[in-house]
Amino acid sequence: MSLALGSALVSIVLCTTVSTAAPGAAGGVTGTASGARTGSERACPVVYFDLGETLVHTADDGAITYRPGAASYLRALRERHIDVGLITNVPPSWGRTDAERAARLKKDVDASWRGPAPFAWQDFGDRILTPRTETERKPAPALWQRASAESGGCRLVYQAETTEEVYVAASQGYVPYQVGQPHRPAFLPVGLVELLGHRPR
């Protein structure tokens, strides 16, 4: 019974999210675009995030800190062994590979960090996707497509603060969630993310 109620809540939350992400779209985003996965998809969820103004906030003086609730949310995902990643725009000139560009990103964020604990880079491993060219910069779908290709067939979630990015992620088959919306949880509740790993396609 609790699983059925949980599944219903997932459907309500996700339908609301997609409707918010694509106002006026007929029927919302259904995830049937070319990037959508099939019924053979593994259920293991991987949660991808935008970085700026989703997980971290840059103040007027340039100081960077976690957004409210972000540190505890990442900790909760870590405790449940749910993989996380970043899909974020940085200048392609920052490096020849994702690893090089990620290293520059980490250096810049850490240099301006003002939080009591450092940003949890270790949680993301090598799942930090950045544009190789200007044409790959979000909201172009390339980064979501690359993350999907590297996912091992797992169900993918994307959380960001902008409607446009959430919409594009949904069009690529991701479970979308727009953070920072009034009267809704700051992030997609961890329990719902876990349910995504149990619900049949």
Domains of the chain with bracketed CATH: 2-196 (3.40.50.1000)
Pair of tokens at residue 200: 């049949």
Residue 18 and residue 157 in contact, taking contact as beta carbons nearer than 8 Å: no
Nearest to 85 by CA among 44, 133, 50: 50
Q: Where are the beta strands (DSSP E) in the chain?
A: 42-49, 56-58, 64-66, 83-87, 128-129, 154-160, 175-178
C-alpha dihedral sign at 109, 117, 147, 176 = negative
Helix (H, G, I), strand (E, B) or coil at 102: helix
d(C-alpha 104, C-alpha 90), whole Å: 9
Write the burial class of residue 145 (CB in 10 Å: 0-12 exposed, 13-18 middle, 19+ buried).
Answer: middle
pLDDT tens, residue by residue, 47-81: 999 999 999 999 999 999 999 999 999 999 999 99
Q: Residue 139 carries which side chain, given as an amino acid letter?
A: P
**According to the model, what pLDDT value does residue 37 have?**
43
Residue 184, beta-bridge partner list: none
pLDDT tens, residue by residue, 84-136: 999 999 999 999 999 999 999 999 999 999 988 999 999 999 999 999 999 99
Residue 145 and residue 131 in contact, taking contact as beta carbons nearer than 8 Å: no
Q: Maximum Cα–Cα distance for the chain, whole Å? A: 53
